[in-house]
Structure 1
């Protein structure tokens, strides 16, 4: 099944790209993702795709260090190109179980634009990748509130007390990310990536004054008591909102479990969920 409706520069570029890859027997499917797939592309936006190959071809590509590249740069429209990431059925199945937020979010609004008959089921897999069960969101809230508590109270306070500019910026940025991600989890919203955090936080439902308190932390990293006070204020708002879903007495254990024991569990720290 191939979808080709040449109504925009991106459509024409995608159609031309499909013609160049669909005769390859190792190619099982092509998944359009990103702004073009979601219908929000600008006239100069690139076209993002996942090229789904056989598992064997994917392993060979990893060995050859070729799992992402661009194609057709400036060929179909000025500044345009196809941004390609490689994946395979085993990758998709693993992503359903344990992908991080940016990977899951990349499949939101995805469209299967080419699929071989033997690859039936790809669409169902990508829909599962972008969906988390309620229990997972509850766990995210606990983890990110714990992150905010430790970074906003202990580490940021220590940074100011020590007069340490790096630790101040590190603690403030980690507090801001954790607070935003707790808000995302409360709204069952995935983290698409750092450049989308501010806009996503402004769009989700939060208590009155929360975004302003978050902005105060983000916009100030001077090593002084006001910076520490801004951090404490944001944590206090977060606790008033979500504290009953993330018991404070468990915060340190949750933080240690999510960060210092991540390697032992074969996973990643909470900020990379």
Structure 2
């Protein structure tokens, strides 16, 4: 929309004069073409290594700015990065980070390599998607089987709700991985799943039932729906060790649980 473009032009004109800024990247809904009239403008400022280090120390990695906005209620939602930060994001960034740059485009840059760095971040090779499917199916099986049964046996309301939420989250993430679709964040999961090509018939209803009434019956229904939908890359015999490795041994492996990857 023109008022978004006008606001972007003002920001780029100002920020490009700053010697600590080496690039300005547009992302979010405006970059994707899904913005509303009142949407904010999401920007990533790529800084010099020294300026990025200073921003880190001063808790200035993400902030809101309104100076230059040309429409009522709008604002710039700014995140900062460096070239090294983007390289590491392409190597080991979590999915929300990768998804945030899926539609990103460079507005201005002093670095000819910046566009390539930005384009590399959202990409994941097939073997990583397969690993993520296996990890999330292990979570689905443990939370939807063992933990929901334990909750019922011990009348543990907290555990039943915890297990149901993590079961549905894991099942949803497994389907995202099957469809080679990045996880954008919890608040986007339902709408992203609704737009997938490969998803079980009745998925949304089964997920809702499991969350509204967590228990063995609804958990089994949800789990069976997922298990019968695809030949997942994880045998039953591998399930427990995969779950333990990916969720309980982060202190040893140095990797965050798959839920946060």
TM-score clears 0.5? yes
- Equivalent residues in 2 for 1:224-263, closer than 5 Å: 227-263=215-251
Cα–Cα, structure 1 residues 38 and 186, in superposed 2: closer, same or farther, change >3 Å?
A: same
Whether the aligned pair in 2 keeps the contact of 1:74 and 1:80 (CA below 8 Å) is no
> Per the alignment, in what secondary structure is the counterpart of residue 86 of structure 1?
strand
SS of the residue 2:36 aligns to? coil
8 A contact 1:31–1:111 mirrored in 2: yes
Q: Which residue of 2 aligns with 1:217?
A: 210
Give the equivalent residue in structure 1 for 2:166.
174
Equivalent pairs, count: 260
**What secondary structure sits across from 2:137 in the alignment?**
helix
Is 1:68 matched up with 2:62? yes
SS of 1:44 mapped into structure 2: coil
Question: Residue 90 of structure 2 corresponds to which residue in structure 1?
Answer: 96
TM-score w.r.t. length of structure 1: 0.92
Distance 1:105 1:244 in 2: 24
Q: C-alpha deviations, 1:201-221, integer Å up to 9, x for none?
A: 111121222332122112334
Cα root mean square deviation, aligned: 1.4
Q: Counterpart of 1:4? A: none
Contact 2:24 2:45 in 1 (8 A): yes
Q: CA deviation at 1:130?
A: 0.5
State the match for 1:264 in structure 2. Answer: 252
Note the 1:2-81 alignment, pairs <5 A: 8-72=2-66, 75-81=69-75
- Please identify, of 212-221 and 48-57, the stretch whose mean Cα deviation from structure 2 is larger: 212-221
The Cα offsets for residues 135-162 of structure 1, whole Å up to 9 and x where unpaired, read as 0100010000001001111111111221
1:80 Cα offset (Å): 0.3
Aligned mates of 2:85, 2:53 — CA distance in 1 = 10
TM-score, normalised to structure 2, is 0.96
**Which of 102, 107, 110 is the aligned partner of 1:108?**
102
Moved more, 7-16 or 97-106: 7-16
Mean Cα displacement is larger for which, 192-201 or 13-22? Answer: 13-22
Q: How much does 1:123 deviate?
A: 1.1
Distance of 1:153 and 1:18 partners within structure 2: 53
For residues 79-115 of structure 1, what are the alpha-carbon distances to aligned partners after superposition, in whole Å with 9 as ceiling and x for unaligned?
1000000100010000011000000000011010111
Alpha-carbon distance between aligned partners in 2 of 1:257 and 1:60, rounded to the nearest angstrom: 36
Q: Residue 213 and residue 114 in structure 1: after superposition, are their counterparts in 2 closer, same or farther (change >3 A)? A: same
Which runs of 5 or more structure 2 residues have no equivalent in the other structure?
none
**Alignment deviations for residues 17-69 of structure 1 (CA, whole Å, 9 cap, x no partner):** 11221111110101100000011100000000110001121111111111110
Q: Give secondary structure in 2 for the equivalent of 1:50.
A: strand
Shift in alpha-carbon separation, 1:83–1:244, aligned structure 2, 3 A: closer
Instruction: Name structure 1 gaps, 5 residues minimum.
Output: 1-6, 222-226
